[in-house]
A and B are shown apart, each in its own frame.
Chain A
Amino acid sequence: MSVTVKIPTQLRAATGGQAELEVAGSTVGEVLDAVFETHDGLRERITQDGDLRRFVNVYVSGEDIRFQDGLATQIDDGAEVTILPAVAGG
């Protein structure tokens, strides 16, 4: 199952400047593992002790995965996974 992962500017040093990666996986966790396999530098930037760091937000087709099943959130073929830093405002 092919999924597009959007990489924010802050992480592109670890992807050789690539803004999008195409990987396979049926859950967010599998997709991220597939990303880490080819770009190992991303693993420690995004995760800590196997979980997402607290200022990392991940969206599946625009929906925050914390409103779904977290890393176990299912992904449909052709879906888009977006990684973004958490930002405050108001």
Chain B
Amino acid sequence: MAIENLKCKECGATYDLGAHFACENCFGPLEVAYDFSGLDPQETKRKIQAGSQGIWRYADFLPFEGRPGDPLEPGLTPLLRADRLAERLGLDAELWIKNDAANPTHSFKDRVVAVAVAKAQELGFDTVACASTGNLANAVAAHAAAAGLSSYVFVPANLEEQKLLATGIYGTNLVGVRGNYDDVNRLCTQLAETRPWAFVNVNLRPYYAEGSKTLAYETAEQLGWKLPDRVVCPIASGSLFTKVGRGFQEWLDIGLLEGEQPVFNGAQAQGCSPVATAFAEGWDVCKPQRPDTIAKSLAIGDPADGPYAVDQARRTEGSIDSVTDDEIRDGISLLAETTGIFTETAGGVTIGVLAKLAERGAIGVGERVVVYITGEGLKTLDATRDRFQMLEIDPDLESFESEFAQEVTA
């Protein structure tokens, strides 16, 4: 069997496959360890291609024995060529957008939550919970409803209204905490000690995080079992960024892919950029910040996987950049105008950083670049206010013609 145990990323100590997340020796984060030595690449590829139309086609690489039931299977989201975006940025490159807003609750969080909820059921929990900046709350509430579990979701009380509404509707216990995400996270870490609940991103975090690997698998499969040369990916906690790297690495290790890891470019908002700052300063720890940005889904001031994200950017000769709130709004508009994809503020951050990379000539001619769009624009509508005007007219031809005079053609 491929899944072996939980292993500390810092000191290598191993633990049984229960609801643990931190090493008792050094507090390092635990990660699921596998033995893939028995997997034949050709046979594995055939099995994946014959699998379900979502993340469970990759069940051999997820922390389960066999394929769990999942009524709300996420994944296999579109990977789209973005030639017009490349052109606008002056890039002579093969640019792709992985639109992960096309998931059941419109963000990549469906991937991690599908895995965590399946694991919660396997471990016998009847209640799931999370600390969230919004998208995770949406996903936990929905997947709990689909699985028939009760749920508690904890969010900063000042979250975007769209995200609160899109969470409460699933019948969850929605708890707004007067504080920022890091306060919510601390509270949930304390609650996880006293409540018999599966906090998907606390005590089930080692399993939950594995779901992000499916973004790497899908990217490679959709590119015809090939690696991109470069990925641009948003960073909040740093978990997605590092797990995409791990996904590619696993497939390289077993021979499903050839070549080497892509260059990893991370994207943060300037108003919450502890990982970008650590990268720029050459630190191997992240100094926590108090977030102040419109990109609330990335507003984690104390990113626990930050050190690993910094390490991955350095190892692949990439970078971690940050952009201002105005650049975030511009990024949202640019993506929408050139691809027809409307993303939330986190996607604006990612496109803003892509534009920065293009401007400083970091992206080479002919490079295959994959940009991860992780969330939906309808969840952060405020960011688009005042960016365009609607013309109001009377319902008659004259009124329209006076505003839009027809060009005279010869």
* B residues 177-205 in Cβ contact with A at 8 Å: 181-183, 185-186, 188-190, 193, 201-202, 205
Q: A9-B193, A10-B22 are in contact. Are A90 and B133 (CB under 8 A)?
A: yes
For this complex, 11 residue pairs linking A to B, each with C-beta atoms less than 8 Å apart, are: A45-B27, A46-B27, A53-B27, A82-B186, A85-B27, A87-B22, A87-B29, A87-B205, A88-B237, A88-B305, A89-B237
The reply to whether A55 and B28 form a contact with Cβ atoms under 8 Å apart is: yes
| Closest A residue, CB atoms, query B306 | A88
| A interface residues, Cβ below 8 angstroms from B | 8-11, 13, 45-46, 48, 53-57, 59, 62, 64, 66-67, 82, 84-90
Shortest CB-to-CB span from B206 to chain A, Å, is 11
Residues of B within 8 A of A59 (CB): 186
Shortest CB-to-CB span from A54 to chain B, Å, is 5
Shortest CB-to-CB span from B120 to chain A, Å, is 15
Q: A10-B27, A55-B27, A57-B302 are in contact. Are A89 and B190 (CB under 8 A)?
A: no
Q: Which of B68-76, B283-291, B349-357 contacts A (4 or more CB under 8 A)?
A: B283-291
Residues of B within 8 A of A55 (CB): 10, 22, 26-29, 304
Q: Give Cα distance in the complex from A54 to B238, angstroms.
A: 15
The range of chain B's interface size is: 35 or more
A interface majority secondary structure: mixed
| Closest A residue, CB atoms, query B21 | A87
Does B57 make an interface contact (CB < 8 A)?
A: no
The reply to whether B22 and A85 form a contact with Cβ atoms under 8 Å apart is: yes
Does B383 make an interface contact (CB < 8 A)?
A: no
Q: Give Cα distance in the complex from A85 to B22, angstroms.
A: 6
10 closest residue pairs by CB, A with B: A88-B237, A89-B201, A85-B22, A88-B304, A86-B304, A55-B27, A90-B236, A85-B27, A88-B305, A10-B24
Q: How many A-B residue pairs have CB under 8 A?
A: 107
The 8 A CB mask of B101-144 against A (1 = contact, 0 = none) is: 00000000100000000000000000000111101100000000
Shortest CB-to-CB span from B159 to chain A, Å, is 13
| Closest A residue, CB atoms, query B193 | A9
Does B268 make an interface contact (CB < 8 A)?
A: no
Residues of A within 8 A of B406 (CB): none
The 8 A CB mask of B304-321 against A (1 = contact, 0 = none) is: 110100000000000000
Q: Give Cα distance in the complex from A54 to B209, angstroms.
A: 20
